[in-house]
């Protein structure tokens, strides 16, 4: 399995904080945010990792992370030139994944659970990670019944559950064919929830519920919570 970390977002929700520093290089306690994603992948035995920055911040990621030596992994970089969302970003690296499975991480998602076991047991299809939240209207939401996902909805007005889908996904290499057949959502972007629905409809979508914390660090309060949790729960 190879890893992909998405860092091309503009970080507009963080306002002036991202004027000099790209979102995924902002501090989360004592380390730049993206260190946490790289370390999660490395800890799960994933040693080939592709970072997807945007055109403006690519150099800064290269400067901060180098070739991955200090994490014991190989890092490479693929630039996403336009802001077209995570699914298009993933499609950019198709050439790197011939018959390889993919661990896709949003660079601003900070979570506690280890990926090791799920990665080891991954057997094709797709795998998502769920977490109960207080504000399900903000997330992709999974409706559960009898240990299975019944439906997926992106930012629903009337959520059918409070299980949000975290920004961490495992896919088999068929994902690139599925992306080709996706239709854009109303905002013109290819949505990650629509992609996951393809696996759901094929009965190939697995999940588990995260035991530890999970934070979207893309807002000032989220960034701050991520720092506090990272400090308090540091093993």
Partner 1 sequence: MKGIILAGGMGTRLSPLTKVTNKHLLPVYDKPMIYYPLEKLVEAGLKDIMIITGPEYAGHFVNVLGNGEEFKVNLTYKYQKEAGGIAQALSLAEKFVDGESCAVILGDNIYEDSFKTAIQTFQTGMFSAYVFLKKVEDPKRFGVAEIVNGQLIGIEEKPAKPKSNLAVTGFYLYPPDVFDIVKTLKPSERKELEITDVNNHYVKGENMGYHLLKGFWTDAGTIDSLYRAAALVINSKK
Binding positions for partner 1, rule: CB under 8 A: 15-17, 19-22, 25-27, 29-32, 35, 60, 63-64, 220-221, 223-224, 227, 231
Q: Could you tell me the smallest distance in angstroms from the CB atom of residue 39 to partner 1?
A: 13
Q: CB-wise, 60 or 78, nearer to partner 1? A: 60
Residue in 140, 179, 137 with CA at minimum distance from that of residue 157:
137
Q: CB-wise, 31 or 174, nearer to partner 1? A: 31
Q: CB-wise, 26 or 152, nearer to partner 1? A: 26
Radius of gyration of the chain (CA): 17
Rounded to whole angstroms, the Cα distance separating 231 from 235 reads 9
Q: Could you tell me the smallest distance in angstroms from the CB atom of residue 139 to partner 1?
A: 22
Q: CB-wise, 64 or 88, nearer to partner 1? A: 64
Q: Could you tell me the smallest distance in angstroms from the CB atom of residue 70 to partner 1?
A: 9
Rounded to whole angstroms, the Cα distance separating 13 from 1 reads 32
CA distances from 137 to 53, 142, 151, 195 (A): 28, 12, 15, 19
Q: Could you tell me the smallest distance in angstroms from the CB atom of residue 200 to partner 1?
A: 37
Would you give the end-to-end CA distance of the chain in angstroms?
A: 26
């Amino acid at each position: 399995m190879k890893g992909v970390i998405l860092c091309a977002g503009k970080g507009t929700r963080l306002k002036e904080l991202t004027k000099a520093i790209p979102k995924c290089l902002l501090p989360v306690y004592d380390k730049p945010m993206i260190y946490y994603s790289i370390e999660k992948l490395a800890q799960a035995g994933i040693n080939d990792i592709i970072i997807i920055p945007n055109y403006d911040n690519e150099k800064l990621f290269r400067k901060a992370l180098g070739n991955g030596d200090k994490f014991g992994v190989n890092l490479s970089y693929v630039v996403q030139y336009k802001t077209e969302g995570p699914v298009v970003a993933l499609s950019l690296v198709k050439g790197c994944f011939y018959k390889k499975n993919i661990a896709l991480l949003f660079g601003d998602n900070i979570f506690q659970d280890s990926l090791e076991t799920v990665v080891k047991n991954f057997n094709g299809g797709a795998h998502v990670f769920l977490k109960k939240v207080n504000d399900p209207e903000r997330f992709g939401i999974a409706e559960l019944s009898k240990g299975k996902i019944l439906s997926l909805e992106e930012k629903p007005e009337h959520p059918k559950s409070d299980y949000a889908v975290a920004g961490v996904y495992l896919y088999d290499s068929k994902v690139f064919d599925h992306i080709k057949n996706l239709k854009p959502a109303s905002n013109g972007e290819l949505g990650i929830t629509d992609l996951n629905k393809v696996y759901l409809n094929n009965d190939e979508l697995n999940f588990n519920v995260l035991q530890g914390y999970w934070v979207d660090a893309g807002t000032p309060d989220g960034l701050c919570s991520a720092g506090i949790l990272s400090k308090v729960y540091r093993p």
